[in-house]
Amino acid sequence: MVIMDSTRPVPAHKQLEAWLQYFDDLGIGSFYRDREGSSQTKLVDGARIAEPPAAAETECSPAAAEGRTLPTLLERADETPLRVLPDGPPTARVADEARRTLPPELRALVHPPPLLRFDEPVVENLESISADLGDCTRCKLHRKRHKIVFGAGNPAAALVFVGEGPGHDEDMQGLPFVGRAGKLLTQMIEAMSLTRDDVYIANIVKCRPPENRTPQEDEIATCMPFLERQLGAIKPEIIVCLGSTAAQTLLGTKKSISAFRGQWFDYQGAKLISTYHPAYLLRNPNAKSDVWMDLKKVMAVLGLKPPARDASRPRG
Ligand code: SF4
């Protein structure tokens, strides 16, 4: 991967070169051909850069032939009810199935496919993924970040927490969940009879969005392949999504988290459950009891003994 000095503007041709290398790393080798004079091109730093055309304008696109445009498909995907796992081992592969509803060329545009399934042999580790990420400039979030927050914890953790993105403290330290919300997450983990070293903690995007805004779709789509590779290397038994951005991204839905919080889903062979983000709990302490119920479900699957009294649940 091309390493770039993030303090200087990156020329357009270098950005394009980095993107092509990035897609090559992901095994994506085919690209659409931009029509001459298409309105889908724009000037960036004086160079003409092609933007992906709408699906309906893609030449020879079966989706276009059937009138199945990308926005329409995404809207329909969102209407598809999430499948709740029955008790017992997970069988459904919700995220995979949602992706499979898209034609292949749109699937690559919407969300690059994960390189590994959890039930396949591990061929890379967190160190090699971090080295591949490098001093990443793949999306615009790199411009104002101080440090990339790759993730931290046990590289063979049975339990992985996934949040939305770094905040100010995380951006300054390069570590996930170290601010006020992070302290509450630590209390939640310890209330489960675990430590932060027992679990792995990561985010959907690895650079702080300006003013702590929600990450945008293009930023998520660019950064997510690295989280997928991390999850593929760790092969956790359980993934806990913290907050709606993490839950909606991993499950491929735009439904409100309150519609599926506390329910089990399958994600690439791991059991996935969603609960409220610790930052939400700081603003809405009454929701702590809901979160504690969710964490007790996780403990039951991991065979962790609940504390003698629920009074020990996180109070932060
Ligand atoms: Fe790279 Fe992810 Fe940071 Fe974007 S958010 S610059 S993709 S590490």
Q: Give the tens place of pLDDT for each residue, 265-293.
A: 999 999 999 999 999 999 999 999 999 99
Ligand 1 centre from 209 Cα, in Å?
10
Question: What pLDDT, on a 0 to 100 scale, did the predictor assign at position 182?
Answer: 98
**Over the stretch 93-129, which tens digit does the pLDDT of each residue have?**
444 455 555 555 555 444 444 444 555 555 799 999 9
Q: What is the average per-residue pLDDT within 28-50?
A: 41
Dist. CA 142 → ligand 1 center (Å): 6
Share of the chain above pLDDT 90, in %: 57
The confidence band for 294, taking pLDDT boundaries of 50, 70 and 90, is: very high
In short, whether 208's Cβ falls inside 6 Å of ligand 1 is no
Question: By the 8 A CB rule, do 264 and 271 touch?
Answer: yes
State the average pLDDT over residues 81-89: 49
CATH 3.40.470.10 domain extents, the chain: 126-302
Specify the residue with its C-alpha closest to ligand 1, atom 4: 139
Which protein residue has the closest C-alpha to ligand 1 atom 7?
A: 223
For residue range 217-255, what is the model confidence (pLDDT) as tens digits?
999 999 999 999 999 999 999 999 999 999 999 999 999
Ligand 1, atom 2, lies closest to the CA of: 223
d(CA 13, CA 68): 33
Pocket of ligand 1 contains residue 238 by CB under 6 Å:
no
Instruction: State the closest ligand 1 atom to the C-alpha of 136, by its place in the atom list counted from 1.
Output: 1
Q: Report the range of poorest mean pLDDT among 47-51, 202-206, 256-260.
A: 47-51
223 lines ligand 1 (CB under 6 A): yes
Atom in ligand 1 nearest the alpha carbon of residue 145: 3
pLDDT at 163: 98
Best mutation site among 23, 136, 162 for ligand 1 pocket (most ligand atoms within 8 Å of CB): 136
CATH number of 126-302: 3.40.470.10
Proportion of the chain above pLDDT 70, given as a percent: 58
Place of tokens 């001459």: 36
Mean pLDDT, all residues of the chain: 77
Q: What is the pLDDT of residue 305?
A: 84
Average pLDDT over residues 84-91: 43
